[in-house]
Amino acid sequence: MTPPLAVPKVHALTGAGTLFYKEVLRFRKVSVQTVAAPVLTALLYLLIFGHVLQDHVPTVGGLGYSSFLIPGLVMMSVLQNAFANSSSSLIQSKISGNLVFVLVTPLSHWAWFVSYVGASMVRGLSVGVGVLLVSMWFAPLTLAHPGWVVVFTLLGAAIMGALGLIAGLWAEKFDQIATFQNFVVMPMTFLAGVFYSVHSLPAVWQRVSHLNPLFYLVDGFRCGFFGISDVSPWTSLGVALASLMLACGVCVQLLRIGYKIRQ
């Protein structure tokens, strides 16, 4: 009797690595749109807002406004592009129908999570580094606490990558992704203290700002450069870790049950 053919098992790390590489390659193929364009947008923000508001917006610690603005723009770029990568990738796969080729693979929900969120972090970090490199020529920057810079960059990219994956799972068409991005992500990032110190706001709006988890990412990240912040970086770290656990927990659970991808 002829023995049955052995079906090779796909190692979890090999499968996740392949999907991760595919996701990174996806945005690298159109890097002018996915990396260069956001860098240019952030540079325009710096040139316009930095010039117009230089003498009109109070900052913390007497920093020049352009110097104050650069870390906020870097973090905003990281957050928005990490979200855009995972959300756009998944919704494109769902609409085009090629998601089935990933579904038939023996990949666990953890492999999906690591691959999509990991690739989103790579894109967010790539854009953030690009924004930092082109903007540091326009205003002086210091690096008071490099550890905080690294920690809050990674946390922010991971949180928004997971949130983008949640949005991609929920959405069934591009309009829904655009709605999520325009009415949730954009307001949260713009109102996170990117362009101003929350101490310059009325008391009621300061309290509202403290309800925005992205505020703590921006504030902690800025503290890494200048050593000054609106709140303690340890408080920001606690909020960021709680937000990460919540976003990742929801994302992994939705992937585990195959929410809106196994119909």
CA distance 200 to 259: 43
DSSP for 123-142, please give it: HHHHHHHHHHHHHTTTS---
Predicted TM-score of the model (pTM): 0.90
State the pLDDT at residue 51.
75
CA distance 257 to 168: 15
State the pLDDT at residue 154.
97
State the pLDDT at residue 59.
67
Q: Reply yes or no on whether the pLDDT at 4 is more than 60.
A: no
**What confidence category does residue 55 fall into, taking pLDDT thresholds of 50, 70 and 90?**
low
Q: Where are the alpha helices (DSSP H) in the chain?
A: 12-28, 31, 37-52, 65-96, 100-103, 109-135, 146-170, 174-180, 186-190, 203-209, 213-226, 233-257
Task: Dump pLDDT digits (tens) for 78-125.
Answer: 999 999 999 999 999 999 888 888 888 888 999 999 999 999 999 999
Q: What are the backbone dihedrals phi and psi of residue 131, each rounded to the nearest 5 degrees, phi first?
A: -60, -45
CA distance 239 to 230: 14
Residue type at 116 in one-letter notation: Y
Q: List the chain domain ranges.
A: 28-257
